[in-house]
Amino acid sequence: MDAEAKQQLIEQFRELLDSPGFNASHALKQDQRDVDLFDVFSELIAIKTELRIQGRQFKSALDQLSDAHTSNRELLDDNQQLLLKSQHHQQLQVIEDLLEIRDRIANAVVMSGHYQPRTFALIARHQERKLIKSLHDGQQLTLERLDQLLSSLQVKPIQTLGKPFNPDTMCAIEVSHDDAFDNHVVSRQISAGYCWQDRVIRAAQVIVNRL
């Protein structure tokens, strides 16, 4: 651009500045306002985008926490089930041992109740009877306490004598022909059966009457 053209542009700019309708401060403020609005809208868009990203990240974190909670809950339930099964098995083992002890004590009570002294001397027979009676009473008391313990553990004996034969709770080992009992009714119990928590843990051995 030559000097004459530059001078013409300068003169035109001066005329514009000197013109009565031109307000430089108003134009500057208008430009500043336009720039500020643009910046505001840009910031709003950036914030909105950031909120969407954070929202997705927050939802992902919640999903992960929920999955972890569910997994931990399932693991806890599994451990509780294993613990209950272990406790159930141990308790059942204890009950079976107690029932075996009870059988021995019950047999001893029966034997001591039917014991007859073999000595002929009157004094000796009296002393022997007294000793056997003391043993019998002690065994009977122990048996009663053991039955109370089993009852506290929810162990119940199966009622059999005079009852119709039930293959779910009884095991027939012999057949009798006794008119005093009806057909297919238990006429004698050989060994007791027991239920624990509504579950048969030992079937009763019985003799079933058949006419």
Look up residue 152 and give its amino acid.
S
The string of pLDDT tens digits covering residues 89-146 is: 888 888 888 888 888 888 888 887 776 666 555 555 667 777 778 888 888 888 888 8
**DSSP strand pairing (204-209 vs 186-191):** antiparallel
pTM of the full structure: 0.56
Name which of 29-43, 68-82, 174-188 the model is least confident about: 29-43
The CATH number of whichever domain residue 179 belongs to comes to: 2.30.22.10
Report if residue 172 sits inside a domain. yes
Report if residue 180 sits inside a domain. yes
Report if residue 5 sits inside a domain. no
Report if residue 200 sits inside a domain. yes
**DSSP strand pairing (155-157 vs 194-196):** antiparallel
Report if residue 140 sits inside a domain. no
The alpha-carbon radius of gyration of the chain (Å, integer) is 50
For residue 99 the two structure tokens come to 């029932």
Q: What is the pLDDT at residue 62?
A: 72
Return the SS3 of 189.
strand
Q: How many domains does the chain have?
A: 1
Are the C-beta atoms of 119 and 129 separated by less than 8 Å? no
Report if residue 117 sits inside a domain. no
* Confidence band, pLDDT 50/70/90 cuts, at residue 84: low
**DSSP strand pairing (170-176 vs 204-209):** parallel
Q: Transcribe 67-111 into DSSP letters.
A: HHHHHHHHHHHHHHHHHHHHHHHHHHHHHHHHHHHHHHHHHHHHH
Using CA atoms, how far residue 122 sits from 33, 54, 70, 118, 127, in Å, is 133, 104, 81, 11, 9
Pairwise CA distance, residues 43 & 38, whole Å:
9
Domain extent for 187? 156-211
* Confidence band, pLDDT 50/70/90 cuts, at residue 164: very high
Distance of CA 168 to the CA centre of its chain: 28
More confident residue, 4 or 142: 142
Pairwise CA distance, residues 143 & 150, whole Å:
10
Report if residue 193 sits inside a domain. yes
Report if residue 163 sits inside a domain. yes
Helices (H), the chain: 3-18, 24-113, 122-152
Are the C-beta atoms of 193 and 165 separated by less than 8 Å? no
Q: What is the mean pLDDT of residues 149-154?
A: 89
Using CA atoms, how far residue 132 sits from 16, 79, 109, 113, 119, in Å, is 140, 53, 10, 8, 13
Return the SS3 of 158.
coil
